[in-house]
Structure 1
């Protein structure tokens, strides 16, 4: 943020930039009180809390400027840089996010949460090697963190190290035996390894844990359809009724569906019956448009 914006924002926040009366031949400038370090830190903390509140409502256009001002006021705060980095990632400014989180890491290298966030940022940037390094460093500091174990499994999956991916997914599931994404993703790995029966069993277990989740249901349908089971279309229809985003290949890739599974998914999703269902679901969920009569 340019310094002039910083100071203007600071003065407005403090109520010192209120409209002044026109000068009537003042002999000297009005006194502006200087802020000491403690006051600046209090102000910075308040602004960061405000940024966090806006972020919770996904109002990133309001949260981000406040976080940028927060790091101006608290340049030595790893928390401030961490919040800013996380907000950059939310608005797809990935490189800015990585830079901010690297600053947070330099300030607090033993902060596991910063390491986890930086690992996720590297994953978003498709730098899977660095993602692995940061996530493992964080887990050295805070072993057993469920989300980090899962993210590390994802990073190894994208690196093509299938066995390590499975190991970390299994460890994540050991932390919480209702965490269906871990079982689901082991199924994704097994399918890419050509172990279709094992993948189906894992997706069925995942579906049992989370019957209202579309992903395992659609994965089962795709695998069965690829084997010639045309009744799988009905299961695919039910899955897409739950979440029609899974009809989009880009969304499947975002959810780490591998090349083999996506190739089979294309075949099922391109059928006229599925296309009709997708169109109907999307039309039902279109926002209501009300014509205003003058």
Structure 2
């Protein structure tokens, strides 16, 4: 499934509800200056909270502007820097996001959300080994976070460390039995390993959890088609694409961690005349809001 913004949302929630009023030793400063600094810091925290709220309504650019100013007013707040970093990640500013998150880490090395976000950022930069390191460190501080376990599994998947990936996905499901993306991705590994029946079983479990999830349904369609039941595979594939036409794009599927073997077989299904006709029909329809990616 797609690379999700779950860790970003976790970080936003931390910042929204967990920003503490910054404090620091100011005993040698004049009383008036201490009050002015405190007022500025409070204003910075207030701006960060506004930014967090804007982000929840997907007003990312406005949120980013406020977060930048907040770091100037409250430069000692790790939460404010973390929020800025998360917003940079959300707006594809990976390098700026990593820089801000590392600043947050310097101020508070025990903030698990910052470590998770750094892992997510390095994953997006395709630095999977570093992603593993950051997420693992975060899990030492706050274990059993299903989203972090899932992201760790994804990093192992990209490193082709399949047993480690499956282990993390299973841990994620143990924390949340309805976390179908982890079940789905175990199916991706099964397929690449040549175990089509087990892959179908996993994908069916994922589809049963979310009746509107297009990804596991398309994967089942591809596996069914590949096993020789062409008519059923085509029917399932058409239904899946009608749920979310983005999954008819091989590039989109690759971004969602589909492996080479599955992509090759998917192309055969998508090239079938019945599926091509469905894709053309959907492209001719007026654009409408689609379900957001889940990864």
> Which aligned pairs between 1:242-261 and structure 2 lie closer than 5 A?
242-261=243-262
In 1, Cα distance between the equivalents of 2:77 and 2:185? 36
1:126 alignment partner, SS class: coil
Counterpart of 1:266 in structure 2 is 267
**Separation in structure 2 between the aligned mates of residue 211 and residue 42 of structure 1, nearest angstrom:** 46
- What is the deviation of 1:227? 2.1
| Unaligned 5+ runs, structure 1 | 1-32, 288-294
TM-score with structure 2 setting the length: 0.83
State the match for 1:133 in structure 2: 133
Within 5 Å, which residues of 2 pair with 1:144-163?
A: 144-163=144-163
| Distance of 2:168 and 2:274 partners within structure 1 | 38
Q: How many residues align?
A: 255
Higher CA-based Rg: 1
Q: 2: distance between equivalents of 1:149 and 1:100? A: 23
Structure 1 stretches of at least 4 aligned residues deviating more than 4 Å after TM superposition: none
Q: Which residue of the partner structure matches residue 49 of structure 1?
A: 49
Q: Give the number of the structure with larger relative contact order, counting CA–CA contacts within 8 Å between residues 6 or more apart.
A: 2
Q: Quote the Cα distance in structure 2 between the aligned partners of 1:150 and 1:285.
A: 35
Paired with 1:286 and 1:172, the residues of 2 have a C-alpha distance of 34
Say if 2:197 is the partner of 1:211.
Answer: no
Could you tell me how far apart the structure 2 residues matched to 1:140 and 1:285 are?
Answer: 48
1:230 match: 230
TM-score scaled by length of structure 1: 0.84
Q: What do residues 40-96 of structure 1 show as CA deviations (whole Å, max 9, x unaligned)?
A: 111101111121122112112211111111111111111111111111111111111
| Runs of 5+ consecutive residues of structure 2 not aligned to the other structure | 1-31, 289-295
User: RMSD of aligned C-alpha atoms?
Assistant: 1.4
Question: CA shift at 1:222, angstroms?
Answer: 0.7
Q: Counterpart in 2 of 1:21?
A: none
Distance 2:189 2:177 in 1: 19
Give me the whole-angstrom Cα distance separating, in 1, the residues matched to 2:251 and 2:79. 33
